[in-house]
Amino acid sequence: MQNTLDGIGLHQLFTSGYRNLKKNMEAINDLNVFPVPDGDTGANMVMTFGGGLQAVSETESHVGQYMQGLSRAVLLSARGNSGVIFSQFVHGLYRGFAEKETVTFADLAEAFACAKEDAYHSIIAPTEGTILTVIREAAEFLAENAEKYDSFQTGFDALQVQMSASLKRTPELLSVLKEAGVVDSGGAGLVCFVDGICAHLHGESPEEIPDHMDWSAAPAPIASNFGPDSRLEYGYCTEFILQLMNYKTDLAAFDLQKFTDPLEQMGDSIVAVHNDGIVKIHIHTFTPDMVLGYARRFGEFVSVKIENMSIQHSQVQTAVQKEKVKYAIIAVAAGEGIKEYFESIGASYVIDGGQTNNPPVSAFLEAFAKFDAEHIVVLPNNSNIVLAANQAADAYTECDVRVIPTKSITEGCSALSMMSPWYDTVDEMVEEMSQNLGNVTTGYVTTAVRDANMDGMTVKKGDCIGLDGKHLMASEANRVETAKALVEKIMAATPKDVIIFFYGEAVTEEEVQELSNFLQEAYPLVDVGFVSGKQSVYDFIISLE
Amino acid sequence: MKDFVIITDSTSDLTLEMRQQFNIEYVPMQYIIDGVEFKASLDWESHSVKEYYDLMRNGLRIYTTQILKDTYLEAFQNAIDAGKDVVYIGCSSALSASIKVALLVAMEMKEQNPDAGIYCIDSLISSLGQGYLAMEASRKRAEGLSAADTAAYIESIKLCVNQCGTVGSLEYLRRAGRVKASKAFFGNLFGVKPLIISDRKGQNFAYKKAKGTANARIGIAEHIVEAANGVYEELFLTHADCAEEMELVKEEILKRAPFKKVTVNTIGPIVGASVGPGTVIAFCLGTEVTIEGNE
């Protein structure tokens, strides 16, 4: 029963909300039919809020201070239509909470009112039956009822019921949704976010929430082949962040409405946001050159993204020539060195992704379409990516696709090392590749990001820690000593035959040599390998098999 | 009927005892260490087994040369001078160009000695697989077959000699580049053993992988037993300075199939230079090899 929350408590709520949003990202992507079927609402919302959460201080206890940081960080990482609206929703919450050190559930009424205001203001032509409606109805509900709930748990439970119902009504307000037989994707994302918050308040993890099976997925967007005779059907999805410049415009007098007026002549689906001299614009236009030229009269670009919407999610179709192969192995990995390593031991293509960057289904479909293969075998290499891989495998009709549900880079490595193009059947190959996955133990050496008391060990922020994937196993003076202690503990529990170290970009050759010497002496019979993984978060990812 | 000599070469891995018992000669290739050429002796005349493979373990790359034209000329001429025909069972043409030189020499010699029967057989295999064919030829000779009939017989069974083995380290395969395998085999794989067969083209072909040494033994045993197809006469095993590992492979095979006779030897310097220390190879007569590596 939490009657008040501080910034840290709020961060935990949001983190749980985000995790559930991320968990449902693919389902949300599949719902996206409005305004154009580009299928990336879920990804955009995840990237938008995730980017904010990553940048914000999780130890800021003052609610107003915390929200200020979060709001700015979310805006900077905002992408896509729904992402920008979501970022404005967060900005509204910040306005509502700005002066508060702690908040109660009743405070949400004012915050949601601000959130509604900001969200509607960001859209030039607000459309009902979208995330905006879900936000508005939630704000109306809270204005009337927030006072009745003295705990966040009961309050959010009621809010969740209300918002789910609101979401289900979206097809009644927007015919394009009704035709496609789906609910609004942005609204669904917001409901997922709230579901995750409820889960946290009940002491559950978002992973325990059942999936939203009642959202019937929209038909997959039809990939179009944009060629010399194609028509520019949808124009360009154009997004940019503009830093207003003092020498070009009067910042104090800058009027977003006046700025966006001319844009309405150049395109539609406009989302515009202005905060502290930074303007973020999303527009669908046939003349992005005009839009950019106009915008540049006021400032300079921080970043620009322009995508042809006819091919936004079907770049695959424009691939010039496909490679004809019996087996294509598609792996997911992050870190230049690790990606290169996967390619060197037989991956046909490596999709960039991992724990913090789950590739969407479309990334898999794009990768599949690169090959004219008889069979495709997918190594997702992360438990959060297995689902997307499976969905892609189901959705792909060009050839047989198998997913080996590898849950880590190390499992992927184990599977891939057994790949050979000369197996008689794909079944035999998949069996051989899967055979040893149960024997793979993964060790991670990294730096603690906060003080913690875990598994009977006390560590301070900044300490080197060694984990076996689940438990804190070692913490020594430096990463090499930590790696040694971690390997010793894992080997003592279950002796292994092969140890592979993927060392991160911060690790020096001397450190590798020291580890190599140690292992040679301690485990002369073990096959030891070192791969320069160039990964960032973990100094060492250790595969013990 | 005209008697004939059976000649093989440095890759046959026949011991002195076997060569004496079956009355088999051999023509040598050479290996080169630090620019110095040595006769690739089946009796390890210049370097002992351990010395030789330790040089490789210490990172030395050993180069090998094919059999010289003069070496063939001399060997074949000696037989002709003694009034005998020749059956030469040479190393797989996919591993050494020697057999091509032999065929050329035989052609030239026949022009001058039209009555001479010189039969050069591309064994499409090496090590004791090749040695086995030479011993088989000797048995046929003892049964009274002519050189021509013996050669025809050997030609008819050579693709039924099955091989399966693995290496101590992929490093040697990478360095020597004599084993056919997918590019990925030569990536930085750890703890993975290739299962190497001799394919229809006589290539040493890494056609499968095994995780770890124990699984590699099982893989070899299963391949050999399947190839033998219920006829468990003779099993041949060779090793590159790893007799203990070879014993374990033998156990694994005999657990599954009671071969009546087991013949073992070390892998000679020529095959050894391309597969490296720690290699174990098993051979048996069985069903005809169908696999053909083509990448």
* pLDDT, tens only, A122-147: 777 778 888 999 999 999 999 999 98
Sequence letter at residue B260: K
Two structure tokens written together for B165: 């083995």
Q: Regarding predicted confidence, which is higher, A303 or B13?
A: B13
CB contact A539 to B (< 8 Å): no
By C-alpha distance, the chain A residue nearest B192 is: A417
Smallest CA-to-CA distance from B133 within B231, B40, B12 is with B12
Closest to B253 in 3D by CA, of B289, B222, B281? B222
Q: Of chain A residues 471-500, which have a CB less than 8 A from chain B?
A: 497-498, 500
> Does any domain span residue A231?
no
B88 Cα distance to chain centroid = 14
Regarding predicted confidence, which is higher, B107 or A229? B107
- The verdict on A43 and A181 lying in the same domain is yes
Whether the Cβ atoms of residue A489 and residue A444 lie closer than 8 Å to each other: no
**pLDDT recorded at residue A212:** 52
Beta bridge partner(s), residue B205:
B180, B197
- Rounded Cα–Cα distance for residues A106 and A149 (Å): 7
Using an 8 Å CB-CB cutoff, list chain A residues near B180.
none
The count of C-alpha atoms lying within 13 angstroms of the C-alpha of A166, restricted to the half-sphere facing its C-beta, is 27
Where does a domain end: B110, B134, B159?
A: B159
Q: Are residues B17 and B121 in the same domain?
A: yes
Residue B148 domain flag: yes
Kindly determine whether residue B187 and residue A423, on different chains, have CB atoms separated by under 8 Å.
no
Residue pair B253/B280 in contact by the 8 Å Cβ criterion: no
Put simply, whether B1 touches A (Cβ < 8 Å) is: no
Q: Indicate if the pLDDT at residue A315 is higher than 50.
A: no
State the CATH number of the domain containing residue A481: 3.30.1180
Residue environment code for A228-266, b if the CB has 16+ CB neighbours within 10 A, otherwise e: eeeeeebbbbbbbbbebeeeeeeeeeeeeeebbeebeeb
Domain of B20 in residue numbering reads as 4-159
Residues B142 and B281 in one domain: no
Mutating which of A417, A429, A501, A512 best tests the B interface, going by the most B Cβ atoms within 10 A? A417
- Are residues A278 and A378 located together in one domain of the fold? no
A146-171 pLDDT tens trace: 988 888 999 999 999 899 989 988 88
Q: In what order do the strands lie in the sheet with A464-467?
A: A472-474, A464-467, A441-447, A540-544, A498-503, A527-532
B82: exposed, middle or buried (C-beta count within 10 Å: 0-12, 13-18, 19+)? Answer: exposed
A-chain residues near B213 (CB < 8 A): 497
Q: Which of B47, B44, B40 is nearest to B66 (CA)?
A: B40
B14 vs A277, which has greater pLDDT?
B14
Contacts of A346 in chain B (CB under 8 A): 182-184, 187
Of all residues in chain A, the percent with pLDDT exceeding 70 is 92
The predicted structure's pLDDT at residue A221: 40
**A314 has pLDDT over 50:** no
The residue in chain A having the minimum alpha-carbon distance to the alpha carbon of residue B193 is A418
Tell me, what CATH number does B74's domain have? 3.40.50.10170
Which residue in A296, A301, A294, A245 sits closest to A267, CA to CA? A294
Domain range for A365: 315-438
User: Do A185 and A121 sit in the same domain of this protein?
Assistant: yes
Evaluate if pTM is beyond 0.80.
no
Residues of A in contact with B182 (CB under 8 A): 346, 420-422
| Terminal C-alpha separation, chain A | 45
Segment A448-455 long-range contacts (CB within 8 Å, at least 24 positions apart):
A448/A475, A450/A58, A450/A59
Grouping H, G, I as helix, E, B as strand and the rest as coil, residue B116 is: coil
DSSP states of B225-291? HHHHTT---EEEEEESS-HHHHHHHHHHHHHH---SEEEEEE--HHHHHHH-TT-EEEEEE-SPP--
> The sheet that has B234-239: what strands, in order across it?
B204-211, B192-198, B161-166, B280-285, B234-239, B261-266
In whole angstroms, give the CA distance from residue A487 to residue A494: 10
Other CB atoms within 10 A of residue B57 CB = 16
Chain B closest-CA separation from residue A424 CA (Å): 10
Same domain, B45 and B29: yes
CB pairs < 8 Å spanning A and B: 60
Q: At B236, list the tokens.
A: 């041949």
Q: Under a CB-based contact definition with an 8 Å cutoff, are residues A186 and A41 in contact?
A: yes
The distance of A495 to chain B (nearest Cα, Å) reads 13
Tell me, yes or no, whether B209 and B221 share the same domain.
yes
Specify if B291 maps to a domain.
no
The distance of B191 to chain A (nearest Cα, Å) reads 6
Task: Inform me whether the C-beta atom of residue A225 falls under 8 Å from chain B C-beta atoms.
Answer: no
- pLDDT higher than 90, residue A357: no
* Mean pLDDT confidence for A345-368: 85
pLDDT given for residue A15 in this prediction: 92
* pLDDT digits 0-9 by tens, A30-53: 776 655 555 678 888 888 898 888
Q: Is B187 on the interface with A (CB under 8 A)?
A: yes
Q: Tell me which residue of A263, A256, A210 sits closest to A24, measured CA to CA.
A: A210
Question: Could you tell me if the ipTM is greater than 0.85?
Answer: no
Contacts of A325 in chain B (CB under 8 A): none
**pLDDT in the model for residue A35:** 52
Instruction: Say if CB B179 and CB B168 are below 8 A apart.
Output: no
B159, B179, B195 - which closes a domain: B159
Q: Are residues B210 and B149 in the same domain?
A: no
Residue with more model confidence, A527 or A89: A89
Total structural domains within chain A:
4
Instruction: Examine the pLDDT at A320 and tell me if it is beyond 60.
Output: no
Mutation target among B207, B211, B294 for the A interface, most CBs of A within 10 A: B211
- Whether the CB of B244 is below 8 Å from some CB of chain A: the reply is no
- CA pair distance A29, A362, nearest whole angstrom: 9
Express each pLDDT in A443-484 by its tens digit: 999 988 878 787 788 888 888 999 987 788 999 989 999 999
Q: Do residues B124 and B267 share a domain?
A: no
DSSP A341-395: HHHHTT-SEEEE-BTTBPPPHHHHHHHHHTEEEEEEEEE--SHHHHHHHHHHHHH
Residue of chain B whose alpha carbon sits nearest to that of A545: B191
Classify A224 as helix, strand or coil: coil
**Whether the predicted pLDDT of A366 surpasses 50:** yes
Give yes or no for residue A420 having a pLDDT over 60: yes
Among candidate residues B12, B55, B16, B23, the one with its CA nearest the CA of residue B241: B55
Shared-domain flag, residues A27 and A151: yes
> In this complex, do A344 and B187 lie within 8 Å of one another by their Cβ atoms?
yes
Q: What is the mean pLDDT of residues A105-109?
A: 92
Record: contact A417-B208, CB cut-off 8 A: no
Q: Is A230 within a domain?
A: no
A531 near B CB under 8 A? yes
Give me the residues of chain B with pLDDT under 70, please. 177-178, 181-187, 294-295
Half-sphere exposure (Cβ direction) of A40: Cα atoms closer than 13 Å: 21
As a whole number of angstroms, the distance between CA B180 and CA B195 comes to 11
Supply B182's token pair: 């997918």
Buried b (16+ CB within 10 A) or exposed e, B222-253: ebbbebbeeebebbbbbbbbbeebbeebbebb
Question: In this structure, how many other beta carbons lie within 10 angstroms of the beta carbon of residue A57?
Answer: 14
Residue B204 belongs to a domain with what CATH number? 3.30.1180.10
Q: Which of A56, A115, A122, A65 minimizes the C-alpha distance to A274?
A: A122
Question: Residue B198 has what pLDDT?
Answer: 94
Residue A348's closest chain B neighbor by CA? Answer: B184
Task: Please count the structural domains in chain B.
Answer: 2
Interface of B with A in 194-213 (CB under 8 A): 207-209, 211-213
Facing B191 at nearest CB: one of A421, A432, A545: A545
| pLDDT surpasses 70 at A217 | no
Q: Does A259 lie in the same domain as A186?
A: no
Q: Are residues B164 and B214 in the same domain?
A: yes
Q: Is A543 helix (H, G, I), strand (E, B) or coil?
A: strand
CA–CA dist A477, A482 (Å, integer): 7
CATH number at residue A129: 1.25.40.340
In a domain, A222, yes or no: no
A527:B209 CB<8 A: no
Each residue's pLDDT tens digit, A405-415: 999 999 999 99
Q: Are A13 and A200 in contact (CB under 8 A)?
A: yes
Say how far residue A216 (Cα) sits from the centre of its chain: 22
A525 and A391 co-located in one domain:
no
Contact residues on chain A for B188, CB-CB shorter than 8 A? 341, 344-345, 529, 531
Average pLDDT over chain A, rounded to whole? 85
Distance from CA of A228 to the nearest CA of B (A): 37
CATH no. for residue A243? Answer: 3.30.70
